[in-house]
Chains A and B, each alone.
Chain A
Amino acid sequence: MTIWNKKDETQGKKELQTTQSSRLIKLVNHLYHNVAFYKDKMDILGVKPSDIRNISDIRKLPFTTKDDMRDTYPLGLLAVDKKEIVEIHTSSGTTGKPVVDAYTINDIDLWSEVMARTLSMGDVGSEDTVQNAYGYGLFTGGLGVHYGSRRIGANVIPISGGNTIRQLSVMQDFKTTAITCTPSYCLYLAEVAKEQGIDFSKSSLKVGFFGAEPWSESMRSEIEEKLHLKALDIYGLTEIIGPGVAAECLEQDGLHIFEDHFYPEIINPETGEVLPDGEKGELVITTLTKEGTPILRYRTRDITYIETSICPCGRTSRRMHRLLGRTDDMLIIRGVNVFPSQIEQVLFKVEGVEPHYQLVVERKNQLDFLEVQVEINESIFSDEIKKLESIEKKIEHDLHTSLGIHTKVKLVEPKSIQRSEGKAKRIIDKRNI
């Protein structure tokens, strides 16, 4: 088993804490004097940079939320001169203003490093061929894996997402050994391969890195069985760096957090209180070494807990358990983040339609389907089928335009959507993941 950066990934706890402490002190000093947003937040809490003396002082610092990131769009959180920025990525911005990650050359270097560590978790080396089926573009998935593969010296095939038939032929022609994509797409790939009569027991694939959407142990078993590879879970988010925040090793027992760069805390999402390792709560991450857009205590809204047991792989970092859920009502549909509030906004804009709706998510043939049930009312009701169908089509079209996902809109009778204590139950998630 290869460990990419043996020195940093296997360092002792004390040594690590010393590194984290000095990095945090430097970061807080820099942010306080260079980013008005952080200075204001710290002033409100009455925290001075001199109050931060070691890593455990991190809990004195203010949280950063997704709303903060939106409010400062586009470059309000920039911590360096604009000319230092060499690349920008953003989230899809489907929930409002997109979240921006601006990278300096050192940030790209850091990203390459943590993604090289990630790929090494699955024993990917210079002799390997990585088929990167994450989308290339503003989305961080594609280029993150790309940079990591380059750093390792592996052969990366930048095929990007979609075009399943071509994915399968490229996989066979170039003898892909590692694949990167969303877990649901991987299962879809397996499905299509079966139709094409492709036998994975004879394929060159040995490992896959799956992330960007929630999945489960049973999905892992299914992927491993169908594709004859080791399926590893990876974690990251645009706000922090993209993929490369944490990844599983071949032990498949929690995701090693690259905590020399990304410091994790688990908090009680209601009180903000920091919880001890092992307790379940919201994951909060601080970027210790990023330059372009460093983030203090970012509230990910992802629920997990931290595992401290020693991993036989030799890496000493703490590990996070596979994601257990969200603190908000965000749905992830085929890798796209969807909030019910966005659906509501679209419905508001369709004339005559009232925002009484319910979302039903199902997984069919390994792909997520979102049905949007909208209550009918007299102003849109017609005795003609085609008029009602055109309303369904119009909403489907508008949802696709603003969310980028295909949905099935179904008109339902008024008050047929279950309401509890006056509040409608908005989401029915039938996916067994």
Chain B
Amino acid sequence: MQIKQISVFIENKAGRLYDVSKVLTENKINLRALSLAETSDFGILRLIVDKPDDALKILKANEFTVGITNVVAVEVPDQAGGLCSVLAIMDEADINVEYMYAFVEKKSNHAILIFRFDNLEDVVDTLHAKGLKMLSEKEVLSS
């Protein structure tokens, strides 16, 4: 139950974020979720898109430095305590979150949480054993 996340290296200078989104738009790639992490020198743009393999190819062809990483998506009810209940399970299992971000579903009244872990396979197994429902790529993209 892992989904593909595209990451793009972005130098801290005007117009670079626009350049990425323009390339994706021109190639009709739809963003499902994104997060931007930054330091004083550079930023890392993380994207969940509808066609990750295409996005990877297109961005590379446009000379961006791109990576692809597996992350975990978890669906929670869009209400107080949604995130907390998931984090409680992770805390109990002593799982360290590298980073996370979230987006809200319009149709379903749910929120989807994206998690990045270091030792992904083990974590997925543990979470699975704890009964946490993780979404498949198809579920994330179609939700």
Q: Which residues of A contact B (CB under 8 A)?
A: 376-378, 381-385, 388-389, 392, 410-416
**Chain B residues with Cβ under 8 A from A376's Cβ?**
9, 42, 65
A415 lies within 8 A of B63 (CB): yes
Shortest distance from the beta carbon of A295 to any chain B beta carbon, whole Å: 45
Interface size of B by CB at 8 A reads 22
- A414/B65 in contact, CB under 8 A: yes
Shortest beta-carbon distance from B43 to chain A in Å: 9
Q: Which residues of B from 107 to 132 have beta carbons under 8 Å from A?
A: 116
In the bound complex, how far is the Cα of B44 from the Cα of A123, in angstroms?
A: 60
A383 B42 Cβ-Cβ under 8 A: no
Chain B 62-85 per-residue mask, 1 if CB under 8 angstroms from chain A, else 0: 011111010000000000000000
A383 touches B65 (CB 8 A): no
- Which of B7, B16, B42, B46 is packed against the most chain A CB atoms within 10 Å? B42
Q: Which residues of B contact A385 (CB under 8 A)?
A: 37-39, 44
Do residues A388 and B44 form an inter-chain contact, with CB atoms below 8 A?
yes
In the assembly, what is the distance between CA of A388 and CA of B41, in Å?
11
10 pairs from A and B in contact (CB 8 Å cutoff): A378-B67, A383-B7, A383-B44, A385-B37, A388-B9, A388-B44, A410-B41, A414-B65, A415-B63, A416-B11
Known: A382-B67, A384-B98. 17 other contacts (CB 8 A): A376-B42, A377-B65, A381-B65, A381-B67, A383-B7, A383-B44, A383-B67, A384-B99, A385-B37, A385-B44, A388-B39, A388-B42, A410-B42, A411-B42, A413-B9, A413-B11, A415-B63
Query: Given A414-B63, A415-B63 in contact, is the A383-B41 Cβ separation under 8 Å?
Result: no
Q: Which residues of B contact A (CB under 8 A)?
A: 5, 7, 9-11, 16, 37-39, 41-42, 44, 46, 63-67, 69, 98-99, 116
Bound complex: CA A412 to CA B98 (Å) = 23
Interface of B is mostly: strand
A96 to chain B, nearest CB (A): 31
State which of A382, A383, A389, A413 has its C-beta within 8 Å of the C-beta of B39.
A389
Complex-state Cα separation, A413 to B16, whole angstroms: 10
Choice from A377, A384, A411, A416 contacting B116 with Cβ under 8 Å: A384
**Bound CA–CA A385/B67 (angstroms):** 13
A135 to chain B, nearest CB (A): 32
Known interface pairs A385-B39, A388-B42; A378-B65 also in contact (CB < 8 Å):
yes
Complex Cα spacing A124 to B134, Å: 81
Q: Report Cα–Cα, A384/B71, bound state, in Å.
A: 12
In the bound complex, residues from chain B placing their C-beta under 8 Å from that of A388 are 9, 39, 42, 44
**Closest residue of A by beta carbon distance from B7:** A383
Complex CA–CA separation, A377 to B64 (angstroms): 9
CA distance A376 to B67 in the complex (A): 12
A383 contacts B46, C-beta separation under 8 Å: yes
| CA A11 to CA B41, docked complex, whole Å | 60
In the assembled complex, the Cα of A384 lies from the Cα of B65 at a distance in Å of 14
By a CB distance below 8 angstroms, the chain A residues around B41 are 392, 410-411
Q: How far does the alpha carbon of A389 sit from the alpha carbon of B41 in the complex, in Å?
A: 10
Whole-angstrom distance between the Cβ of B51 and the nearest chain A Cβ: 18
Measured between beta carbons, the chain A residues less than 8 angstroms from B99 are 384
Complex interface: chain A residues within 8 A of B9 (CB)? 376, 381, 388, 411, 413
Closest chain A residue, CB of each to CB of B99: A384
Bound form: Cα–Cα A403–B8 in Å: 32
| Interchain CB contact (< 8 A) of B5 among A378, A381, A382, A383 | A383
B69 touches A413 (CB 8 A): no
Give B16's nearest chain A residue, CB to CB.
A413
Q: In the complex, what distance in Å separates the CA atom of A413 from the CA atom of B116?
A: 24
> Taking the nearest CB of chain A, how far is it from the CB of B24, in angstroms?
17
Contact partners of A413 in chain B: CB under 8 A: 9-11, 16, 64-65
